[in-house]
Amino acid sequence: MAISHPPITVFTKPWKNLAIGSLADLIADLGFNGIELPVREGFQVEPDTIQDSLTRAVSAFEERGMSIYSVAGDLDEKTARACVENEIPVLRTMLKLQDGKSYSENVEAFQNQCLLLTGELNGSNTTIGLQNHCDEFVSSSVGMMQAIEPLPEELATAVLDLGHIGLEGELEEIAIDIAWSRLSLVNLKNALRYKEGVDERGAVIWNRTWVTGKEGYTSWDKAVAELAKRSFRLPICITCEYKDANHRGLSGDDLIPYVKEDLKYLRELLNVHYKLDS
């Protein structure tokens, strides 16, 4: 018997220059169920005008049968209020480790920032979603959960980015298990490391590049299998981060073939592991 699978969303950051209606048309044509919308300067929805422009964005996607499942934006009252008013489930953020502060001081500052938004988010269906990110951020599933654990479940949830989990060397099923009790959103992308050069002593300098779902350290197959085993039905977001052979980031029309390839692959995995009818 077929069961429903998670909605498939896409992070629309690569298409910042499209008008909101054109963006919605593109995402509908690609076949996604909805999006994660960046709220940033120079994008379709900007922080200063979020109150009105987010509502227009929601309408544009709803008119085409889609939803805005998450917003990537600032942790402030204005953004939180707009997300609540427009019934956006997740306000996604990351925890950057600031120089001059210890790890624990950075985590405490994040927790206090979240608590300041309790009044805006209380009683709503919107949560702050903390995402793991490699390098100078809270990067592991354990670190992510340790940061949100003291906060109320209705205030803070976990956004597990499996591309960054792969870079950190965590197994997919273990990371999902660690984040499971607070998991509100799963990000899918994939990465590899490459030798960028050597330093003055001859030690290799490593960098990372973003590839399609079949190519990198993270097994999308194992991840989807674990999510299906646990009957996960919240959004899975293809984050649309790709680089070419010269490690240059792709945007606009240049990345559409990559997006189509990954969407097709994810659908195949959902069909297999969620036992859907073809």
Q: Are 259 and 10 in contact (CB under 8 A)?
A: yes
Location of structure tokens 């009683």? 123
pLDDT of residue 2 exceeding 90, the answer is no
Span 151-178, pLDDT tens digits? 999 999 999 999 999 999 999 999 999 9
Mean of the pLDDT values across residues 99-109? 97
Question: For 212-227, what is each residue's pLDDT tens digit?
Answer: 999 999 999 999 999 9
The predicted structure's pLDDT at residue 3 = 46
Strand partners, 68: 35
| Residues 245, 253 contacting (CB under 8 angstroms) | no
Return d(Cα 190, Cα 60) in angstroms, integer: 30
The predicted structure's pLDDT at residue 277: 52
What pLDDT shows up at residue 10?
99
Tokens 């990351």 belong to 94
If you average pLDDT over every residue of the chain, what do you get? Answer: 97
Confidence band of 205 (pLDDT split at 50, 70, 90): very high
CB atoms within 10 A of CB 130: 29
**Amino acid 4: pLDDT:** 82
Please check the confidence at residue 46 and state whether its pLDDT lies above 50. Answer: yes
Report pLDDT for 275: 84
* Residue 37: pLDDT over 50: yes
Neighbours of 260 (CB within 10 A): 12
The pTM for the full model equals 0.96
| Cβ contact 126:73 at 8 Å | no
Would you state the structure tokens that stand for residue 66, as one six-digit string? 């889609």
Helix, strand, or coil here: 12?
Answer: coil
pLDDT at 124: 98
What percentage of residues in the chain have a pLDDT greater than 90?
Answer: 97
Confidence of residue 180 (pLDDT cuts 50, 70, 90): very high
- Could you tell me the domains of the chain? 8-273 (3.20.20.150)
Q: Is the confidence at residue 181, as pLDDT, over 80?
A: yes
Q: What is the pLDDT of residue 195?
A: 97
Quickly state the pLDDT bin for 257 (edges 50, 70, 90).
very high
Q: What residue spans of the chain are helical by DSSP H?
A: 20-30, 50-62, 77-85, 103-115, 118-121, 141-148, 162-168, 172-179, 220-229, 256-273
